[in-house]
Amino acid sequence: MKDLRKFYYWCALVFLIIFLLLQWYFYLNPTTIEEDNEEFYDNIKKIEVKSIIKRKSLDFKNRRALYVVYEQDSLPIFSDWEEKISIGDSIIKPKGSLKLLIKRGGYLIDTLDYEDNNSIILPNNW
């Protein structure tokens, strides 16, 4: 009985040490939203888009991330942008830029900038 009690104490001590080390690590190495979005911004900058939006899509496996689908690819968008973008709109994004130009009927409707929404964490597994 004493051996079993000793085993439980050692297990609890090891668990406590591991828990405290994890807390210490994450407390001293927090990431900011800007750091989280930087990788996303680099991926967006590499893409050049000149197409028509075919549909909007919600990814339930990725915290209900919202995407616009064009041709055979998609771009993640913010939920605030959903009402500004309609199916059939033209979407233009130059390579190296984070701005989306939305045109409807040949007229510029809106310019949407990913950097304007720095306080929102974007889906990074897109």
Other CB atoms within a 10 A radius of the CB of residue 97 amount to 15
Does residue 51 sit within a domain?
yes
Number of domains in the chain: 1
- Is residue 2 pLDDT above 90, yes or no? no
Its domain, for residue 87, covers 33-117
What are the tens digits of pLDDT across the range 3-35?
888 999 999 999 999 999 998 888 777 666 667
d(CA 40, CA 42) in angstroms, rounded, equals: 5
Does residue 22 sit within a domain?
no
Does residue 26 sit within a domain?
no
What are the tens digits of pLDDT across the range 40-85?
888 889 999 999 999 998 888 877 888 899 988 888 888 888 889 9
What global pTM score does this model have?
Answer: 0.65
Does residue 27 sit within a domain?
no
Does residue 6 sit within a domain?
no
What are the tens digits of pLDDT across the range 31-41?
666 676 777 88
Does residue 15 sit within a domain?
no
Does residue 68 sit within a domain?
yes
State the chain's maximal CA–CA distance in angstroms: 82
